[in-house]
Structure 1
Amino acid sequence: MVSPHFYFNFELMGNQEIINIFKLTASLMELHEENSFKIRTYQNAVYNLDKISSDLASLSLEELASLEGVGKSIAGKIQDLNATGTFPELSSLLAQTPKGVIDILNIKGIGPKKVRSIWKELDIVSTEALLEACNENKIATLKGFGEKTQESIKKELMFASAQKDKWMYAEAEATALKLEKDLSALNLKVSLAGDIQRKSETLDTIQLIVGENQPKKVFDAVSGIKTLEQNIKASGPFVWRGKDLLTEIKVEVKICPEERFGNFTYLNSASSLHLKADLGNSSNLFQLLTSKDFKNEQEIFTHLNFPFIVPELREGYDEIEKARENKLPELITYKDLKGTLHNHSTYSDGVHTLEQMALYCKELGFEYLGISDHSKSAFYANGLQEFRIVEQHAEIDALNKKLTPFKIFKGIESDILNDGSLDYEDSVLASFDFIVASIHSNLKMDKAKATERLIKAIENPYTTMLGHPTGRLLLKREGYPIDHKKVIDACAENNVIIEINAHPRRLDMEWKWVRYALEKGIMISINPDAHEMEGYLDMHYGVHVGRKAGLTKKMTFNALSMEEAEQYFNKKKSSSTTSSNA
């Protein structure tokens, strides 16, 4: 199986960056009340470019112009973006717009017209001033706003403030690993530490520990890395602080004596709860690590006569007790995964065709692909009407004959409607091998409503697995509140698998609740929610979430072989039909 690679490229402008810039351009044009025809040009470009799988940065002007829905004008702007990072219209719009107003444009739930009202009528040009205006009840008095909109804006602003200067793990991992490799190549004893070492979902700093008795040697080595810039004021005799210039992520390198490298690495890669946990002799790890020298982490566990506790587990739950009793689980690895479920193709809003998705999946070494395009309620994502399901299933049957023994399972990501029902009749649901039930609409719910809606969907006999249970988008959107225990208990009662949505922006369900699901005996599926071929590799991040929760191969659904997965689906379908006819 091909190992996952890291495709965050900060040197070339990727397709999504280009699309985001055109989205911004359309929003700025609306903000400044420009010609609606011109605005639609950019909105159409966003829609059409989102469907293109080719690397836009690598195409010539003629090749870009020949793409469906692009044309010569947009092609020229793409070329300008890759040459200069901008184009004339965008530069003009940005010059007319205060930076703080652009920040306000990014607030979810208020479009350019409302932002214009806030800017022009109240002279608000920063998110700080906007929050102050909300607190003074000024926003509610604007025409077309009201108290509900004001409260929504305030909530979004407070959420954004709490996420300020944070990064997704996936955005930091490649940089962290490269720094570790570069410093190790200089014969320095190096280890990652902190949130990046524990594989936390988000972080604000990449931390490294270097065991070296000559601090100047470390400072010279770090300063020699051209992508780093030091913050001299924040640094000290034994700590280098600065940032990575390519990503803007803060970097901290702590220097310790070589003979205490194990101590510093462990102290900086475990939560305070873990360090305070009872070792069984009225002492804890913090006391041990501040009283005795260890050259590496393995020496610590040898001293304790414990099996090694991986950094992902060092969160202060029951890992110390399990280590003491030699009951630590053998955690899931990426290599254990046999297939991938919850994936999208061009039948709905995916970038690649069903055949392309299947061929790449097989090339990666997987045994099966679960395709689950959006259902008909997701009209914005080209969701499948019933007649198109028939077409897709016919193509799957043909591809399965062609690609055997590789298998494509027929799935759907069925929308959970506002009342908790799924958006197809039972006869249609019965035609699929598996159903991923997910919420995509009416996200503004209180805990009682969201929990009730999810549980009704879980109780549907055709629901195979629950998709991204809270709908959160890390650092962008807080998930709707749910009673996790009730939802997880319902999955246990109805034999419903829970997905870890491995998209780095989701990582939903959160690992702390995956722990509870495992306690209830629920199978977990690490699903990439891939909308393009490379998206399969996001399962790498889902594995991290699973490992933090104590997930094993045995409890991971897509670690089952193709035959085992097929048997499970057939058994579930049989019981679903029986329940539906009862």
Structure 2
Amino acid sequence: MTNSEIVDLLELTGRLMELHEQDAFRTRAFSSAAFNLDKSTADLANLPVDELIKLPGVGKSVAYKIREIADTGRLTELDELLAQTPAGVLDMFRIKGLGVKKIGTLWRELGIVSLGELQQACEEGRVATIKGFGKATQDKILAALEFLQEQKGKVRMDKAAQMAGLLLDELTPHFDRVEVSGQVRRKAQEIDTVQLLIQTSDPISAMLTLNGIPSLQPNEVESSPFAWRGQLDGFDVRVELLLVAPDQMDRQLFILSAAEPHLQQVGSGGASLLQVAYTSPDTSEAAIYERAGLPYIVPEMREDDFAFRWATRHRADELVTWDDLRGTLHNHSTWSDGKQSVAEMAAYCRELGLTYFGIADHSVTASYANGLDAERVRAQQAEIDALNAGFGTGFRIFKGIESDILGDGSLDYDDEILASFDYVVASVHQTLTMSIEKATTRLLRAIENPYTTILGHPTGRLLLAREGYPIDHRAIIDACAAHQVVIEINASPYRLDIDWRWIDYAMEQGVMLSINPDAHTLSGLLDMHYGVAVGRKGGLTKQMTFNALSLDDMQTYLQNRKLGIGKK
């Protein structure tokens, strides 16, 4: 059992105890343990009870529950709670903003035991009549239900990549050539079909092989003689395995990795890219574009005609790559809600070949994330000074902060504290339900703050879980251009925010973009791979990538920006 699996079971137990109105003290014990252990780097599964009780938030009772989970893979108390809870009530936990107490009220007072019944009750106006709800809450629930329905059957980029990797490992021993194609190869941020191509001259034998792999569950209705369709155990998204003759693999890999609007682009010869792809004697991708009289487009950008407009101003080799990144600027440590120390995070950055690490722990308003007050800011900065003294000239830790943007657009430190940082990432974390006018005004004020260096995850969206709050993207980007504020591409696969469709406009306005992992763990630093992928999809060039600046250039930029405060 991993730490995250143990924490998830403890958290679910606490929520179900609250739902069933069990002893408040014991309920808090489970919830507190889950909250504290989520940040722990201890190997929970291998700690005895007497070591577990030394961890923050863990009492003896919960310690024994952790041992039960680690030893058996389950928790008897949780099983009993689950047996008392309709599956549809559990589904309600997925609705953002709907707390456990309200779910319990809906279940007990209206007898709602499914998302369908909840939607019907909202549409009939019954939810609004319950004390503590009202029409505004009812409307929010309806919007959340609609959003969940739209996302059904999809996975994020990271899950899709994991699935594709597992399928490659499973299939490669059986076939001469297997290629990932479709949405996964295009690096789509949300994916409804994980598609792979299998080279074979004997589709009947190949299909028998696929049906004999235990982890693959076929959908016989949707499958055909040349297409296996079904699911991979442990994932609820569609899998499509297409059987392709050897002489057609390259051609089909190209065609199936591009979206239809991209393939319909007509080249200088009067034929569409799709028509050329089917008739070209040379089936290499570069040859297909050349024969069509069109510029070569990398797989990530094969969505629509945007890539061809972009190509009138840029070349494919200008696009940012992982190797272009020189540092990382939005990361968290054990000072707030991260799982590793500043020293550990910085050391891993050095292992990755980066030359600077920017710490941007949560600010004072983010009490839920152990945000730093002024005294702790000074203590952290003293620690960073000591670490930097040991690095020499080839590596540096920059002192940053992720300062919360308050409801009125102000940042949550005074100017004296803000001035002590090398840079400030300004982000919204709370009060997410505003009109587009108010949300935009709020961000504009934060951008106008002279201490704001980077605008963090501009819409606050969580892919497949929560829509971003509405903002006027053009107005925000224009303001960033006017005030020389960098915009973050939050590389966490849960966010990927700002959306790739706005990257080109930002570059046109002269706004640089920073590929920030928002890392809370060592492995989280690798999320910059996802940020690079969506950056390339949106046409981001190395020249306009903020954290592609060298260490010397980054130091100069940040120093000059601080010197310019108050001189405008």
* 1:507 alignment counterpart: 496
* 1:207 alignment counterpart: 195
- Counterpart code for 1:415: D
Superposed CA offset, 1:206-240 (max 9, x none):
10122333212332443354322222222111100
Which structure 1 segments of 5+ residues have no match? 1-12
Give runs of aligned pairs for residues 278-297 of structure 1, distance below 5 A: 278-292=266-280, 295-297=283-285
* 2:520 alignment counterpart: 531
- Counterpart code for 1:386: A
* 2:303 alignment counterpart: 315
Give runs of aligned pairs for residues 240-259 of structure 1, distance below 5 A: 240-259=228-247
Structure 2 CA distance for partners of 1:299 and 1:190, relative to 1, 3 Å: farther
| Pairwise CA distance, 1:326 | 8.0
Q: Is the 8 A contact 1:127 1:157 kept in 2?
A: yes
Q: Is the 8 A contact 1:417 1:423 kept in 2?
A: yes
- SS of 1:373's equivalent in the other structure is coil
Q: Is the 8 A contact 2:332 2:362 kept in 1?
A: yes
Equivalent of residue 487 in structure 1, options 442, 461, 476: 476
Q: Is the 8 A contact 1:100 1:125 kept in 2?
A: yes
Give runs of aligned pairs for residues 10-409 of structure 1, distance below 5 A: 13-292=1-280, 295-301=283-289, 303-304=291-292, 308-320=296-308, 327-405=315-393, 406-409=395-398
Q: Is the 8 A contact 2:512 2:546 kept in 1?
A: yes
* 1:521 alignment counterpart: 510
Structure 2 CA distance for partners of 1:303 and 1:181, relative to 1, 3 Å: farther
Q: Could you tell me how far apart the structure 2 residues matched to 1:307 and 1:102 are?
A: 50
| Pairwise CA distance, 1:181 | 4.8
Structure 2 CA distance for partners of 1:302 and 1:278, relative to 1, 3 Å: closer
Which structure 2 segments of 5+ residues have no match? none
Equivalent of residue 412 in structure 2, options 387, 412, 423: 423
**1:410 and 2:399 are equivalent in the alignment:** yes
Question: How many residues are matched?
Answer: 567
| Pairwise CA distance, 1:37 | 0.7
| Pairwise CA distance, 1:380 | 1.6
Superposed CA offset, 1:295-349 (max 9, x none):
4434424534655422101011343356689833522111221111111112111
Give runs of aligned pairs for residues 424-573 of structure 1, distance below 5 A: 424-573=413-562
Superposed CA offset, 1:225-279 (max 9, x none):
4322222222111100111113333210112333222332222111111011121
Q: Is the 8 A contact 2:504 2:539 kept in 1?
A: yes
Q: Is the 8 A contact 1:322 1:328 kept in 2?
A: no
- Counterpart code for 1:477: R
Which range moves more in the overlay, 553-562 or 78-87?
A: 78-87
Q: Is the 8 A contact 2:272 2:292 kept in 1?
A: no
Q: Could you tell me how far apart the structure 2 residues matched to 1:201 and 1:55 are?
A: 32
- SS of 1:529's equivalent in the other structure is coil
- Counterpart code for 1:427: E
Structure 2 CA distance for partners of 1:303 and 1:281, relative to 1, 3 Å: closer
Structure 2 CA distance for partners of 1:371 and 1:106, relative to 1, 3 Å: same
- Counterpart code for 2:189: E
Which range moves more in the overlay, 51-60 or 425-434?
A: 51-60
- SS of 1:155's equivalent in the other structure is helix
Structure 2 CA distance for partners of 1:69 and 1:297, relative to 1, 3 Å: same
Structure 2 CA distance for partners of 1:192 and 1:294, relative to 1, 3 Å: farther
Q: Could you tell me how far apart the structure 2 residues matched to 1:440 and 1:546 are?
A: 23
Structure 2 CA distance for partners of 1:86 and 1:122, relative to 1, 3 Å: same
Which range moves more in the overlay, 538-547 or 516-525?
A: 516-525
Q: Could you tell me how far apart the structure 2 residues matched to 1:324 and 1:306 are?
A: 10
| Pairwise CA distance, 1:187 | 4.3
Superposed CA offset, 1:96-123 (max 9, x none):
1101011113322222222122111211
- SS of 1:232's equivalent in the other structure is coil
- Counterpart code for 1:550: G
- SS of 2:567's equivalent in the other structure is helix
- SS of 1:463's equivalent in the other structure is coil
- Counterpart code for 2:238: K
Identity among equivalent pairs (%): 49
Superposed CA offset, 1:57-99 (max 9, x none):
3444444344333243223322322343321211111111101
Superposed CA offset, 1:142-196 (max 9, x none):
1211111111111111111111111111012022034235434444333222211
Q: Is the 8 A contact 1:263 1:293 kept in 2?
A: no
* TM-score (norm: length of structure 2): 0.95
Superposed CA offset, 1:457-506 (max 9, x none):
11111111100000001111111000111101111111111110011101
- Counterpart code for 1:297: E
Q: Could you tell me how far apart the structure 2 residues matched to 1:477 and 1:201 are?
A: 14
- Counterpart code for 2:472: D
- Counterpart code for 1:207: Q
Q: Could you tell me how far apart the structure 2 residues matched to 1:321 and 1:354 are?
A: 43
- SS of 2:385's equivalent in the other structure is helix
